């Protein structure tokens, strides 16, 4: 029987306005929250190309773009485009009232 996934409060909704990103920590993991059009996504906050923080990058459409070399990562899937080839981990996000909750690592 699968156990219920545990969610951790990491921010309030107003701390991540549309078009913005915010670096947070979830159970010791560095995570970047991204608000794209009112939908909040969470990705591991490290480019898989040169391990630079994605939270230092920019939001372009449905991707986070790494500031260092321009690698792009899809918000929904973490899929990468060159120069990165490895996807980044994504985390499930829930909004509970004014709280942003992110699934803890298993």
The domains located in the chain, with CATH, are 7-103 (2.102.10.10)
pLDDT digits over 62-96, tens only? 999 999 999 999 999 999 999 999 999 999 999 99
In the chain, % of residues over pLDDT 90: 92
Q: For residue 37, with 0-12 CB atoms within 10 Å meaning exposed, 13-18 middle and 19 or more buried, which class applies?
A: exposed
Q: Under DSSP, is residue 13 helix (H, G, I), strand (E, B) or coil?
A: helix
pLDDT digits over 27-55, tens only? 999 999 999 999 999 999 999 999 999 99
- What pLDDT is stored for residue 3 in this prediction? 57
- What pLDDT is stored for residue 4 in this prediction? 73
pLDDT for residue 8 is more than 90: yes
Contact present, 66 and 84 (Cβ < 8 Å): yes
The pTM assigned to this predicted structure is 0.93
């Amino acid at each position: 029987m699968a156990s219920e996934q545990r969610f951790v409060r990491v921010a309030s909704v107003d701390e991540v306005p549309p078009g913005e990103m915010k670096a947070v920590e979830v159970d010791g993991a560095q995570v970047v929250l991204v608000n794209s059009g009112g939908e909040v996504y969470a990705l591991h906050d490290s480019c898989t190309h040169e391990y630079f923080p994605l939270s230092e990058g920019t939001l372009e459409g449905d991707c986070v773009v790494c500031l260092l070399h321009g690698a792009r990562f899809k918000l929904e899937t973490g899929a990468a485009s060159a120069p990165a080839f490895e996807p980044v981990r994504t985390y499930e996000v829930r909004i509970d009232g004014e709280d942003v909750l992110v699934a803890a690592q298993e």
